[in-house]
Amino acid sequence: MIIASRKPFAEIKKSIELYENILVVGCGTCVAVCLAGGKKEVGLLASQLRMSFALDKKKIQISEETLERQCDHEFLETIREPLKEFDCLLSLACGAGVQFLAETYPGKKVFPGVNTSFIGVAEAAGLWTERCRACGDCLLAITGGICPRTLCVKGLNNGPCGGMIDGKCEVDPERPCAWVSIYERLAEEGRVNQIEIMFPPTDFRFQTKPGRVTHRAYLRRYNAGSK
Ligand code: SF4
Ligand code: SF4
């Protein structure tokens, strides 16, 4: 899932303080799971903003709405009518959701309330860690399900580098070297000889931005190539 964290309150408040009728828009999927932008976080931020503007003696109306997803037309459409009364939208979705909200409602001022960090997992309660940088050319099949492009600090396609010490990363001695982890995993699985496969340099054509993926069944409809 996409991991995000709330922006500092002072930054959020400053971005919207010129407006009078503000809707805080949450997203009920990834950012809700990582406790950054779901319904509960929308409520907390809205209350904090109301109190803060009241102390400043500013008459700013703060309302709340949480969609199931902001990266999907189906859910964005559900607020088309109610949005008309607001002069500013504060989105707690990831960067994709914020942009899709702004695209869907041209003319509305849209501001982000979270910083989007990475694609990751819920490793433990309150702890999210990165696992994938969406390289578009996944090599997990031959690295024992461990991603060196993400978990190796240098993103090396072949490793370990010369700085590995006792199985730890030279950049952060607290962390296991990703390539040692890959070696150990492949050894456990009885396919350690795969460590000898030399990967070519990363093909950055797979990472051309902006990315575009068309499902094969929809190629004719969108008249577009698949990636
Ligand atoms: S190789 Fe790593 S970064 Fe690329 S898609 Fe697979 S997990 Fe993601
Ligand atoms: S020690 Fe291992 S994880 Fe650290 S930079 Fe070198 S290869 Fe990557």
| DSSP state string for 18-31 | T-SEEEEEEESSHH
Q: 183 and 96 share a domain?
A: no
Q: Is residue 220 part of a domain?
A: no
Q: Is residue 124 part of a domain?
A: no
d(CA 185, ligand 2 centre) in Å:
16
Supply the pLDDT for residue 224.
56
Q: Is residue 175 part of a domain?
A: yes
Q: 97 and 201 share a domain?
A: no
Supply the pLDDT for residue 226.
46
What is the number of domains present in the chain?
Answer: 2
pLDDT, tens digit, 9 for 90 and up, residues 55-72? 999 999 999 999 999 999
Supply the pLDDT for residue 227.
47
pTM, two decimals, is 0.92
Residue numbers of the domain that contains 18:
2-118
Task: Name the H helices within the chain.
Answer: 9-16, 30-33, 39-55, 73-76, 80-83, 95-104, 148-151, 178-188, 219-222
Are 97 and 113 spatial neighbours (Cβ–Cβ below 8 Å)? no
Q: 96 and 144 share a domain?
A: no
List pocket residues of ligand 1, CB cut-off 6 Å.
132-135, 138-140, 147, 149-150
Q: 35 and 104 share a domain?
A: yes
pLDDT along the chain (227 residues), means of 10: 98 98 98 98 98 97 98 97 97 98 97 98 98 96 97 96 97 96 98 94 92 93 65
Supply the pLDDT for residue 49.
98
